[in-house]
Amino acid sequence: MIYLLLSILASTIIFVVFKLFATFKINTLHAIVVNYFVACLCGMIAYKGSVSLSEIPQQDWFYYTLGLGALFIIVFNLMAITTQRSGLSVVSVATKMSLIIPIIFGLIYYKESIGIFKIIGIVLALAAVYLASIKSKDGIAIQPKNLVFPVLVFLGSGVIDTSIKFLEDSFVAETDVPVFSSTIFSAAFTIGVLVLTIQAVQGKFTFEFKNILGGIALGIPNYFSIYFLVKALRGGLLESSGVFTINNVAIVLLSTVLGILLFKEKLIPKNWIGIALAVLSIAFIFLAAYDF
């Protein structure tokens, strides 16, 4: 349980850091690239064994982590495009609603249990994510020509979570979780550096020290959000479908509360309904887990 709570806390801190980026006018892409380096370094420090770079490519999970690293960068850029064209609420809904992909994977591939309480919990979670994320009374509106971007964010985010579950279960030893996480971030960092190099060649890159500070602030919780999520998936308290449901809906719940307390955000009635449904969703998932 503690690992799931820590993953939720780390992911929520990421939300707070992103909000502060706008306040301090930090270049998000530059900070994201630095963040991947910092997250990679955190994993290397956390690894209790000796790290041999020549041995990492020999691990069964290595090439999968390269793909995940590339997907991290791709999804990030898709999120940026979606935000610009359709708004932050659309990104938030697309990202969090993607929890349905790892849930379905767990139910089908791992033959996880399904019952009335779990079904109700998942449905309430999806409704909670939507209602807590939208910031206008009219809901969200997406122009048909821009629909492809939130769809790709939805699919990409879901594939990332599903892949992490599959890899940690099939290939990653308990002691290798830190270096596994580091390798994913290392791949993302390498691709990010290439993107920045292209920007520099085109004369579009401007170095600012505050972007490094922003990357450090983002990288530490980013590493631990993945690390603790993997540990939670292995904890045995809940099946993966339950872990992903609670993880996503609790992040939305806690982020909304912090938005009120720290950033004085105003909530519309739909947001309050979403918060209430989030609490009910978590309760039903635990009822399902313990056969009440």
pLDDT in tens, the chain (292 residues): 899 999 999 999 988 888 888 889 899 889 999 999 999 999 888 887 776 778 888 888 999 999 999 998 888 888 878 877 887 778 888 888 999 999 999 999 999 998 999 999 999 999 999 898 887 776 666 788 888 999 999 999 999 999 999 998 899 888 888 889 899 999 999 999 998 999 899 988 888 999 999 999 999 999 999 999 999 998 887 899 999 999 999 998 898 888 888 888 888 899 999 999 999 999 999 998 876 5
Residues recorded for the chain: 292
Confidence at residue 117, expressed as pLDDT on a 0 to 100 scale = 93
Cα of first residue to Cα of last residue in the chain, in angstroms, is 18
Asked if 144 and 86 touch (Cβ cutoff 8 Å), the reply is no
Asked if the structure places residue 259 within a domain, the reply is no
Instruction: Identify the CA nearest to 88 among candidates 135, 130, 24, 21.
Output: 135
Q: What's the pTM?
A: 0.88
Q: What is the pLDDT of residue 242?
A: 92
Q: Of 106, 66, 56, nearest to 247 (Cα)?
A: 106
Express as a percent the part of the chain with pLDDT over 70: 98
Say which DSSP state 268 is in: P
Cα angle, residue 95 at apex, residues 93 and 101 outer, rounded to 5°: 110
How far is CA 171 from its chain centroid? 21
With respect to residue 117, please indicate whether it lies within any of the assigned structural domains. Answer: no
Residue 260 forms part of a structural domain: no
Give me 50's structure tokens.
């000796």
pLDDT score of 202: 92
Residue 277 lies in a domain: no
Q: What's the confidence (pLDDT) of residue 54?
A: 80
Structural domain of 47: 2-112+143-235
The per-residue pLDDT for 291 is 65
Tell me how far apart the alpha carbons of residues 94 and 251 are, in angstroms, rounded to a whole number.
14
d(CA 14, CA 21): 11
- Amino acid in the structure at residue 15: F
Q: What is the largest CA-CA distance in the chain?
A: 62
Q: Per the domain annotation, does 231 fall within a domain?
A: yes
Read off the amino acid at residue 271: N
Structural domains in the chain (count): 1
In a domain, 78, yes or no: yes
Asked if residue 156 is part of any domain, the answer here is: yes
Find where tokens 């209430």 sit.
276
Q: What's the rounded Cα separation, in Å, for the pair 237 and 242?
A: 9
Question: Is position 25 within any domain?
Answer: yes
